[in-house]
């Protein structure tokens, strides 16, 4: 196992977190790595911190570029990568010291193109939360169709670019979409489609930091998640017709996710957008009903939304209050 791994770390105004992130990368037990720090136009000391690390480890290269967003920084890193495999680590996160070793070992032992592990959710108050997987499997090897199915179930893994190691050739002609939120959702099913075999293993190796200023926790209402789900739906049901119920359920669920966010943040949706949401969920509910993979609570939510938004809104607030989600 002597393959070179490129580790791409996009950086933008994360001076508080950057040292911990880079320290976790340089201390990997697997040594044949190159570390590409992509400074995406930071206005704080992040760029200077990155440069200091080049004096400590000659495997590190820093690239400074104009701000283009997370997708643009990742795409830049892909262009500069020289490894056989590639992974992405967000600069406010950190990884266990055997992160690369375990991901690469699973790929090599099982002749796979992508390997996937689990995240640990770390909150800024220093309390870690492990997001447990129901019926978790170890060494779960999938073909493209099965992997796309599980990708949309969120039972074992999700759409995130991190927690995964990829054969670098998979990114030929595939780029992260510039200027989009949920950028991973736009390409993950395409990468899975190109892969011959994907392996998931039940080890918690990536620390995903939950912070107030992150994109994930932003209160801005963006519809990119829905657009990504729609594009996936069109692509997948043409190539994998057996997954039609799954991806149409994912599309309906994505609409519900954005609608829920509007309730949480007290954002009034435009009447035409709200009407389109209702129509699309109603049109796809029959696929949700026929989808044996979707949890019953999600089926009930989509059913209730399609019937009565006022009652749904009350239900959602109570559900959130009781389960503290």
Confidence (pLDDT) at 1: 74
Mean of pLDDT values over 27-35: 98
CA–CA separation, 204 and 121 (whole Å): 10
Ranges 196-200, 265-269, 293-297, most confident: 196-200
- What does each C-alpha distance from 109 to 112, 146, 197 come to in angstroms? 8, 20, 12
Confidence (pLDDT) at 136: 64
- What does each C-alpha distance from 255 to 157, 214, 221, 277 come to in angstroms? 20, 22, 12, 6
Q: Does residue 222 have a pLDDT over 90?
A: no
Confidence (pLDDT) at 107: 98
Confidence (pLDDT) at 133: 58
Task: Report pLDDT digits (tens) over 55-81.
Answer: 999 999 999 999 999 999 999 999 999
Q: Does residue 299 have a pLDDT over 90?
A: yes
Strand partners, 156: none
Task: Report pLDDT digits (tens) over 236-293.
Answer: 999 999 999 999 999 999 999 999 999 999 999 999 999 999 999 999 999 999 999 8
Q: Does residue 221 have a pLDDT over 80?
A: no
The 3-state DSSP class for residue 162 equals coil
Confidence (pLDDT) at 129: 64
């Amino acid at each position: 196992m002597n393959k070179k791994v490129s580790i791409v770390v996009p950086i933008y105004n994360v001076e508080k977190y950057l040292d911990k992130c880079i320290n976790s990368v340089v201390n990997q037990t697997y040594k044949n790595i190159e570390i590409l720090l992509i400074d995406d136009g930071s206005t704080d000391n992040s760029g200077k911190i990155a440069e200091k690390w080049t004096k400590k480890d000659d495997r590190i290269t820093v690239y400074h570029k104009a701000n283009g967003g997370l997708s643009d920084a990742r795409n830049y890193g892909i262009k500069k990568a020289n490894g056989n495999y590639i992974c992405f680590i967000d600069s406010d996160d950190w990884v266990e010291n055997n992160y690369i070793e375990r991901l690469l070992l699973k790929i090599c032992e099982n002749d796979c193109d992508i390997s996937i592990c689990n995240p640990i959710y770390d909150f800024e108050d220093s309390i870690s939360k492990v997001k447990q997987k129901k019926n978790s499997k170890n060494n779960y090897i999938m073909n493209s169709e099965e992997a796309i199915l599980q990708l949309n179930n969120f039972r074992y893994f999700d759409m995130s670019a991190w927690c995964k190691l990829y054969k670098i050739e998979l990114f030929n002609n595939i780029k992260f979409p510039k200027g989009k939120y949920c950028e991973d959702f736009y390409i993950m099913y395409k990468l899975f489609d190109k892969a011959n075999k994907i392996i998931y293993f039940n080890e918690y190796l990536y620390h995903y930091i939950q912070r107030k200023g992150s994109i994930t926790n932003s209160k801005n209402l963006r519809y990119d998640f829905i657009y990504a789900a729609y594009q996936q739906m069109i692509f997948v049901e043409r190539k994998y017709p057996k997954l039609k119920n799954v991806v149409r359920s994912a599309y309906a669920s994505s609409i519900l996710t954005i609608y829920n966010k509007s309730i949480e943040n007290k954002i009034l949706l435009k009447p035409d957008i709200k009407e389109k949401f209702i129509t699309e969920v109603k049109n796809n509910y029959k696929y949700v009903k026929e989808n044996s993979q979707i949890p019953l609570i999600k089926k009930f939510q989509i059913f209730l939304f399609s019937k009565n938004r006022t009652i749904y809104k009350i239900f959602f607030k109570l559900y959130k209050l009781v389960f503290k989600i």
